[in-house]
Amino acid sequence: MDKNTKILKNFILELNLLGYSENTIKTYRLTVEDMLKRVNKDPKDIDEIKIKEYLIYLKKDRNNSNKTMAMKTNAIKTFLKTLKNPAADDIRLPKVEKTLPTVLSIEEVKRLLECAGNTRDHLTLRVLYSTGVRVSELVKLRINDIQDQRIHIRSGKGSKDRIIYIDPKTEIMIKTYIEQNRPKTHIFENKENKPLTPRTIQRIVEKYRNKAGIDKEVTPHILRHSFATHLLQNKADIVVIKELLGHSSLTTTQIYTNISNEFREKSYNSAHPLAKEETKENTKF
């Protein structure tokens, strides 16, 4: 094992101990591996100039977006920090424009659920929307994690446990599904009694998006956005939504207030009689 491989392995162990998600760890590893190959220096000797040259290469030659640049810069900063190399301390993250996430209307969610005739697929979609769980949390759900309209999310993002809630009908559907299909450990398993993968869940969502004829992008995470937005539109407390989603900061949850404001504006413009009137210049009072 060469020196860089050993350093990289230790970095991945650190990320696991800090509770980073599998996807983030993979992204950070690939970014750091690529940087080390291009810079071709001992990681402890990498200086600020080399980092900036590499980031310019990513921006100009690979045409990375600001969002991707911010993620890769953060990966490098985190990596060098574990080596106590201060070279990246003064490198700023690129400014990333905040865009509102896509959200389904309640009618679109209903169409999606109605199209899922397969029991497992229907229940998968229903649990995603009724609880707002991340797809990584859904595939880890065990049979004994659900009790009395509560779901125990174990080792969610940041390795945090939390309790969320589920409506009575969905809980009954889950229990019926378990009785009929007898999964071994996890609620959603394949024929070999292994948990479904996040990719399988994504394919299920995409399949019924097409069947429902929904023009928007629909992913498990968009169902999570829809869960939070619909709760907020129905006057749920934003702090409660934060806890249900497992956000570490209220700032992350507050993006849904912007979506709700946009929803209210559209509702006003489509419903109020005066908002429908044509606008002409020099309108007389």
Joined tokens for residue 54: 């590499």
Joined tokens for residue 49: 């100039």
Is 142 designated active site? no
Catalytic residue chosen out of the listed positions 59, 111, 207, 221: 221
Residues linked to residue 146 through DSSP beta bridges, in sequence order: 151
Tokens 């600001």 appear where? 66
Say what the pLDDT of residue 95 is: 79
Is 111 designated active site? no
Superfamily of domain 106-270: Intergrase catalytic core (1.10.443.10)
Please tell me whether residue 184 adopts helix, strand or coil conformation: coil
CATH architecture of the domain with residue range 3-88: Orthogonal Bundle (1.10)
Q: How far is 20 from 15, CA to CA, in rounded Å?
A: 6
Contacts of 106 (CB under 8 A, 6+ apart): 230
pLDDT of 46-103, one tens digit each? 999 999 999 999 999 999 988 899 999 999 999 999 999 998 888 888 877 677 788 9
Please tell me whether residue 74 adopts helix, strand or coil conformation: helix
Please tell me whether residue 224 adopts helix, strand or coil conformation: helix
Catalytic residue chosen out of the listed positions 224, 225, 230, 242: 224
Catalytic residue chosen out of the listed positions 134, 186, 225, 242: 134
Domain ranges, ordered by start, for the chain: 3-88, 106-270
Is 162 designated active site? no
Say what the pLDDT of residue 257 is: 83
Joined tokens for residue 109: 């969610």
User: Is-above-0.75 flag for pTM?
Assistant: no
Catalytic residue chosen out of the listed positions 72, 126, 157, 209: 157
User: What b/e sequence results for 23-39 when a residue is b if at least 16 CB atoms lie within 10 Å of its CB, and e otherwise?
Assistant: ebbebbbebbebbbeeb
Joined tokens for residue 276: 């429908």
Q: How far is 279 from 92, CA to CA, in rounded Å?
A: 46
Q: Which residues of the chain have pLDDT under 70?
A: 1, 97, 156-159, 262-268, 270-285
Is 126 designated active site? no
Is 256 designated active site? yes
Is 129 designated active site? no
Residue 98 · residue 255 · CB < 8 Å: yes
